Amino acid sequence: MTTTLSERVSQSAFDGSMLRVVLLMDLHEGVQQQFFEAYEQLRHDIASVPGHLGDQLCQSFENPEQWLITSEWESAPQYLAWVNSEEHTEQVRPLGACVRTMRPMQFTVLKETGRRYDVPAKGFGGRLQTTPRLGAGVVRHALTFTVKPGTEAKVAEILSSYSSPAAQVDEHTRLLRTSLFMYGNRVVRAVEVQGDLTAALRHVAKQPEIRAVEQQMDPYLEQERDLTDPESARMFFMRAALPAVHHVAAPRREPQEVRRHALFYPAKAGCGPLLARFLARQDEAAAQRPTSPVVSSSVFQRDDVVVRLLDVAGPSDGRFAAGFGIDGPRKAAVLRRLLAGEPGPVPDGAPHPMDLITDRRAPARS
């Protein structure tokens, strides 16, 4: 049987597929027993988390300091709801204290052999990914945090004037693009990486120009951190993570001017996942329309914070007032029901256009 791939790039957490999470770790010397005890506590805590199907702890027989944890989930949104929660942050703290390096990876399950896959999907609490996805070799991620009210102008000045770090991380990994946006006192930093996201983020964090900017930012942050303390830094960036839950790009078109925009969607309490799924459906539909000005869209979501990053051909005109692609009264009404009302320059039930602070691409390879 031949599988047909769509021309458009589409990567989504919302296709209902089972998720396999892989966590590869190198431990500090002499902490194996402490690590094992931390895992024992974690596996009991996670057993009751909705969507968790099971996990395995593996130890390398070649290098006993290297460990692997794999876990299986009914779907990606259920995993993301846990991994982005405060409960998760506290539950993994003892484990993280034992780890020198950690590389997390998430995979949806496409094919697998075994008896349980010979029964209907409801028999094992999840389903397989239906077809291979078409990718572009790019990993997307974002960080979000808030600064003290009244410091927004100073923060924007700092974030717009930093020196870009070296783009090449190693022979396999390259930092492609960094886009910084603000709405009020909320900052969103979106990155695009070719290769290993973890390696790229670790590389950027070590660069002196980035360290200098982070130190300048410290007095203005609402959530305190100490980047000289590895545990404090790890916990801050864990809480600031804003994962990409959906990305879609239309087939390539004729060369044209493309501008990057971001929309901030503050969801009603508990409605963040529903809002992200709703926006993903609209973007999938828009990507199939030849007349759509949206070249690509990424939806980032953590709890009730949702950000939509759009690459748009031509001027945006007044399209943001209607939510950009949320056409018709029915869709607008759904969006209003999912959004929290906030004081601001736009009416309640509408997304908030974010101010672009800086958008930097890596130079082309020579």
Query: For every one of its 366 residues, what pLDDT tens digit does the chain have, with 9 covering 90 and above?
Result: 343 444 566 788 888 889 999 999 999 988 999 999 999 999 999 999 999 999 999 999 898 889 999 999 999 999 999 988 888 888 888 998 898 888 888 998 888 876 554 444 444 556 888 877 777 788 899 999 999 999 999 999 999 988 888 888 888 889 999 999 999 999 999 999 988 888 888 788 778 888 888 889 989 999 888 777 777 777 788 888 999 999 988 766 666 788 899 999 999 998 999 999 999 988 888 777 777 788 889 999 999 999 999 998 877 665 554 456 677 778 888 888 898 865 444 454 577 889 999 999 988 765
In this chain, the answer to whether the domains covering 139-243 and 244-354 adopt an identical fold is yes
Second CATH level (architecture) for the domain 244-354 = 2-Layer Sandwich (3.30)
Second CATH level (architecture) for the domain 139-243 = 2-Layer Sandwich (3.30)
Q: Is 117 exposed, middle or buried (0-12, 13-18, 19+ CB in 10 A)?
A: middle
Cα separation, 190 vs 188, whole angstroms: 6
Secondary-structure percent of the chain, ordered helix, strand, coil, rounded to 5: 30, 30, 35
Q: Is 83 exposed, middle or buried (0-12, 13-18, 19+ CB in 10 A)?
A: buried
Single pTM value for the model: 0.85
- Domain spans of the chain, in order of start: 14-110, 139-243, 244-354
Second CATH level (architecture) for the domain 14-110 = 2-Layer Sandwich (3.30)
